[in-house]
Amino acid sequence: MDDRVVGTVTNSITGLKTELKRLVGLVTEEDDCRLEVLDEISKTVMAIKELKFSLDPVKTDPMARYFLCPISSDLMADPVVLASGQTYDRAYIQEWFDADHVTCPKTEQVLQNTVLTPNYVVQSMIQEWCYSRGLEPPAKSTNRTSESDITPQEAKYVNILLQKLTGPCQFKQREAARELRVLTRKKPNHRVYLGRSKSISVLISLLESPDSETQEHAVTILLNLSIFNENKALIAEEGGIHPIAKVLKNGASMAARENAAATLFSLSSVDENKVKIGSSTAAIPGLVDLLRDGNSRGKKDAASALFNLCINEANKKHCVKAGLVQLLLKFMRISEEQRGGMGDDELLAILALIASCEEGAKAIGEGGGIPICVGVIVKETSPRNKENAVGIMAELCARDSRYVKEAKNAGGYMELLDLSLNGTCKARRKANKLLDRINRQHRLATI
C-alpha cells in the first residue's frame, strides 16, 4: 500500500472509502486491472475493517440502532413486541407495565393489551450481529415463574371461573372469560397455573362459542397462555391450532382475528408447531388475508407469523399457493402508508425465505421481483434490507439465467459492487456471486 493510502488509515473511514472508490473507478471505468491496483483495493478494504473493529460497534455501527431497546438504549437481551408493533427488551418494558402504565413508551398510544410477544426475528438478528463482530450476545434473565407463586385463594378463584366456563349460562361464560383474560394478561403465574391445571381444552372449546365476545376472550386467553413456553406445546397437543386458525379466518370480530394471528405467531416459535400450523387448511390463507385486509396491528402479527412459518420448507410452498408472494410484491410497489405501516424489512425478510424454494423463486421472478430488489439496493435503507434484496436476486439468478440478464439490465451495478465490498457478511457473499454471474454472462455475450 502506498503512502497515500497509509495516510488515510490514520484519518477516518471516510477517507478510506474515498480512496476505495477511486481504486474501484480505475478498474470499472478505466479497465485498469494491474495487480498493484487490485492489491491496493484489498489492502484498503482490510484497513477499513481494522479501523471499524477498533471502535465500539454498538456505538458506531448503524445497524446496531435497530437492536437497542428504546427504554434502556442497550442491546436487547430478550426482545418482545407490544400491541403497538414496537419492540422492547422484556425486562425494561415489564418494569414500565409494573408501574401501571398502559401505553407504548415510544408511540404513547394506549395499548389494547399488554401482552409481550417474543420477537424471535430481532433476537436472531442480534445474535448474528454479535457473533459477526466477536461479541457475546446479551444474556436473558433466568427468572422463571412457577406454579407455587399462585396463592390458594387465587387458585380457588380461578377454579370458580373455570367452572363457569363449562356451565350452561352464556352470560356467566362471557364474564368468566373476560376476567380470565385480565388475569392472564397481568399475572404471569396465572398463565402457568392454567396450563398445568388442564384447562386449555376448555378454552379451546370456547373458540366455537356463538357469542362473539366469549370467542374473542377465549382466543386472547390462549394468546396470553402461549407466552409461557410450556403452554405452547400444550395448546398444540390439545388440538388448539386448527380452531385458532378458524377464528383467524372467520372470527366474529377483527380483534379476535388479530389475536388469533398473534397466538399462531407465538405458537410458531416451536418447530413442531410450525408443521402443525402449516398443515391446517385455514392458517396460512387466514394469515395472508389478514396481511392484506387487516389494520396495522393485524398486518404486523400476520407478517411475523408468516415469517416464522416460512422457516419450515413445506410451509414456503403453502404460502406461495395462498398468494403470499403476489401480495408482498404488490406491497413493495406502494408506500408504507398505503400498506398499513408495513416496512420493507418485514416484507423482504419473508420474500428472502420463500425465494429459497423452487416454487417461491419462480413466483418472485415472474412477479417482477428483480427490479423491485434492485430498487431496494440502490436506495438508502438498512443493511439488512440490502442483504435480503441481493439474496433474493442471487437465488433467482442461480436458478434461471434469464434473471441474470434482467438483473444486468435493471441497473444498480455500482451499488452491487459497493455492497460486495461494504455490505454485511452475507450481503458481500451474495453480491459477489451475483456479480460473477452477471460478468460471466456479459463476457459470453461479447464473444
Sequence-distant (6+) residues with CB within 8 A of 37 are: 23, 26, 27
Taken in order 81, 84, 89, 92, the sign of the CA dihedral is negative
pLDDT for the residue 4: 36
CA separation for the pair 248, 285 (Å, rounded): 9
pLDDT for the residue 160: 93
pLDDT for the residue 231: 93
Residue with cell string 450481529: 129
Taken in order 216, 217, 219, 224, the sign of the CA dihedral is positive
Query: What's the alpha-carbon Rg for the chain, to the nearest Å?
Result: 25
State the CB neighbour count (10 A cutoff) for residue 82.
26
State the CB neighbour count (10 A cutoff) for residue 152.
7
Homologous superfamily, domain 60-132: Zinc/RING finger domain, C3HC4 (zinc finger) (3.30.40.10)
The chain-wide mean pLDDT, for the chain, equals: 86
pLDDT for the residue 308: 92
Q: Which of 56-70, 147-161, 194-208, 407-421 has the lowest mean pLDDT?
A: 56-70
Element (H, E) at 282: none
Q: Averaging pLDDT over each range in 126-130, 165-169, 182-186, 215-219, which range is the top one?
A: 215-219
State the CB neighbour count (10 A cutoff) for residue 187.
17
| The pLDDT of residue 235 is above 50 | yes
Sequence-distant (6+) residues with CB within 8 A of 279 are: none
Q: In this structure, are residues 104 and 132 in contact, taking their beta carbons and an 8 Å threshold?
A: no
| CATH, domain 355-447, list 3.40.50.300, 1.10.3720.10, 3.30.420.40, 1.25.10.10 | 1.25.10.10
Domain ranges of the chain: 3-54, 60-132, 355-447
**Residue 349 φ/ψ, nearest 5 degrees:** -60, -40
Write the pLDDT tens digit of every residue in 335-345: 988 998 888 99
| The pLDDT of residue 129 is above 50 | yes
CA distance between the termini of the chain: 35
State the CB neighbour count (10 A cutoff) for residue 427.
24
Chain center to CA of 390: 18
Region 74-82: mean pLDDT is: 90
| The pLDDT of residue 309 is above 60 | yes
Q: At what angle do helices 369-378 and 324-332 cross, to 10 degrees?
A: 40
Q: Which of 11-15, 127-131, 196-200 has the lowest mean pLDDT?
A: 11-15
Q: Averaging pLDDT over each range in 57-66, 146-155, 334-343, which range is the top one?
A: 334-343
Element (H, E) at 276: helix 271-279
pLDDT for the residue 178: 95
- β-partners of residue 438 are none
Look at the pTM and tell me if it is higher than 0.95.
Answer: no
Q: Which long-range contacts (CB under 8 A, 24 or more apart) does 9-18 make?
A: 9/47, 9/51, 12/51, 13/48, 13/51, 13/52, 16/44, 16/47, 16/48, 16/51, 17/48, 17/422
pLDDT for the residue 177: 95
